[in-house]
Structure 1
Amino acid sequence: MKQHPNITGLILAGGQSRRMGTNKALLEVNGQTLVERAIERLHPQVTQLLVSTNVPLELPANIPQLADTLDDAGPLAGVFTGLLWLQKRQRKCSQQRQRQHKQRHQVPPASAWLLTVAVDTPLFPQDLPQQLWEHASTNRDRLKIIAACSGKREHPTFALWHTDLIPALSEYLVEKQQRRLMTFIGQQSHRYVDFSTAQAHLESVGLGAGDPFDNINDPPALLRLAKRLQCERPLTQPVKVPV
C-alpha cells in the first residue's frame, strides 16, 4: 500500500502589508477575516494547523501561533520558524516512541513535511497537500521543496518543505543575510506542480475565471473577492486528507 505522511499546515500571516496599510490577516470579506477563511479552507487538509504571525490573533487555543525567530526576513522567516517547530515535534514523538517501545503504534511518527499557504490567497485549491504530494512522486525521496505553479506563474509560498532544509535555511538567512524566496528554492532540490486545472474547480463552484492563487494586494482586489465569494458553492464531496 502506498504510504503518505501526515502533513502539518502553516498559514503565513506575518507580512507587513504595506500596500494595504493594515494587517491582511484581519481584513474582512463577507463577515469573515482572511485568516479565518484560510483556517477554514486548510484545516480539513492537514493533521496539524499552525499560524505564522508577529501580532497575536484571536484564534482557537488548539492552533499554535508562531512569531518569526528572525526580523524582516519575509516569508522565509515564517517557513524557518515552522520547520523548527516541526523538528521539535519530531524529536518529542521520537522520545515518546522510545519510552513506549512495546506499544510503538500508539505514538505515530511526526511528519518531516510542512505545508505553507499565504493568508492573502483565500481561493487556494481545497486538495493542495494531496495534489502536491501525488503529482511530485518521482524522486520524492530526494526532493526538499515541492511548490505550486499555475501556467507560467510560480507560487512558492504554497509548498511542501522538508525539515532537512533547516541547516541550509539557517545559513541563508542568518549567515548570508539573504531574503529572496525564489533564490533559496533554486538552490535546493525542488519541483513545481502545475495547478492550472484547478481553475476548472473554481468555475464548478461558481467562482468564475481567475487563478486559484490570486492574492489580495489592494482594496479593489478585496472587493472583487467579496463578489466572487458570494457565488461560491460548497464541495460536493469532502477532501481526502493524506494519512
Structure 2
Amino acid sequence: MTEPQVLPQDIIMLMGGRSRRMGRDKALLELDGEPMVYRILRLLNGVGRPIAVCNPEGVLLPLTIPMVMDHWQDCGPLAGIHAGLAHGREEMALVVACDMPFVSPVLGETLMKTMIKEKKDAVIPRVAGKEHPLFAVYHRRILPLLESMLAEGKDRSVTGFLQQIDTLYIEEVQGWAPWQFAHSLFNMNKPEDYMKVIHQK
C-alpha cells in the first residue's frame, strides 16, 4: 500500500451536528486521550487543506484551521458540505464527518484520483449496499444546484442530492480486503458505537 500524496483538494470536516443520539459532542470524544477532531486531522494530514464546518455554539477546542458556519442552519450535512465548498480554495474537496475514528488517507487519495480520472461530480464509497457520503469527494461545480436545493427547502437529504448530480460509487480499493474498506468508513452514532471503538481499536 503506497503512501498518500498531497493532492489539490480541501478537506471539509463536518462538526455542525447536534449529536442527539450520542448525547455529547462527537468531535470531542477521546481515543487514547486524543479528541476525535484532532485524531482525524492528524490521520488526514497532508491529504489536503482542512476546513472545519461548525455549529453556532462553536468549538470547545483550539483549532488552527479555518472554521466556517452553515449558511442554512439546521439543514443537516448537506448545508455543511455547501459551507465547506463555498469557502474552499480548490476545485475538489474531501468531506469527512467528525465521528470517523479510522479514516484512511489512502482511501481519500483513491477517491480523489478517481474523480480526476472519471470527471465526476461526486465519488462516494459504498459498502454492502450502504453509501458513505460523509467520507467522499465532491467537485465545486455542484455549488449552484446545492444552493438551489437548500434555498427551496424541499429534499435536503444528501442521498436525494446525489441522485441529481453525476455520482460515481466505488466498492473496493485495490490491494485492500473488504473488511479494511468497511473499517475505514466506520462512524459512531450512539454510545455503544463509541464503546466498541474503545474496546476494539
TM over 0.5: yes
The structure-2 alpha-carbon separation of the partners of 1:177 and 1:201, relative to structure 1 and needing over 3 Å to count, comes to: closer
What is the 5 A alignment of 1:149-168? Answer: 149-168=126-145
Match of 1:122 among 84, 87, 101: 101
Alignment of 1:1-243 (within 5 A): 6-46=8-48, 48-54=49-55, 55-57=57-59, 58-61=61-64, 63-86=65-88, 89=89, 111-136=90-115, 138-140=117-119, 143-195=120-172, 200=177, 211-229=183-201
Contact 1:146-1:161 at 8 Å conserved across structures:
yes
SS at match of 2:163: helix
- The whole-number CA distance in structure 2 between the counterparts of 1:179 and 1:133 is 25
Structure 1 CA distance, aligned partners of 2:139 and 2:80?
Answer: 14
> Normalized against structure 1, the TM-score is what?
0.72
1:50-76 C-alpha deviation (Å, 9 max, x unpaired) = 111113222332x01111111111001
Asked whether the equivalents of residues 70 and 77 of structure 1 are also in contact (C-alpha less than 8 Å), the reply is: yes
SS at match of 1:44: coil
- Count the aligned residue pairs: 194
**Are the structure 2 counterparts of residues 35 and 14 from structure 1 closer, same or farther at C-alpha, using a change threshold of 3 Å?**
same
Equivalent residue for 2:3? none
SS of the equivalent of 1:83 reads helix
> What runs of 5+ residues in structure 1 fail to find an aligned partner?
90-110, 204-208, 230-243
1:195: Cα distance to partner?
3.6
Q: 1:8–1:114: 8 Å Cα contact kept in structure 2?
A: yes
Q: Is the 8 A contact 2:115 2:121 kept in 1?
A: no
**Rounded Cα–Cα distance in structure 1 between residues aligned with 2:152 and 2:7:** 32
Spell out, residue by residue over 1:93-118, the C-alpha distance to the aligned partner (whole angstroms, 9 max, x if none). xxxxxxxxxxxxxxxxxx31011011
Higher Rg: 1
Quote how far apart the aligned CAs of 1:23 are: 1.1
Q: CA deviation at 1:183?
A: 0.5
TM-score w.r.t. the length of structure 2 is: 0.86
2-structure distance, mates of 1:162, 1:134: 12
Quick check: 1:150–1:211 contact (8 Å CA) kept in 2? no
- Report sequence identity in percent: 28
Amino acid at match of 1:169: L
Q: How far did 1:133 drift?
A: 2.6
Other structure's SS at 1:222 match: helix
The one-letter amino acid of 1:20's match is M
1:38 CA drift (Å): 1.1
SS in 1 for 2:184: coil
**1:11-55 Cα deviation digits (max 9, x unpaired):** 111111111111111112221111111111122321x11111113
Q: Quick one: which amino acid aligns to residue 184 of structure 2? A: P
User: Deviation of residue 150 (structure 1)?
Assistant: 2.2
Closer/same/farther in 2, CA of residues 198 and 23 from structure 1, 3 Å limit: farther
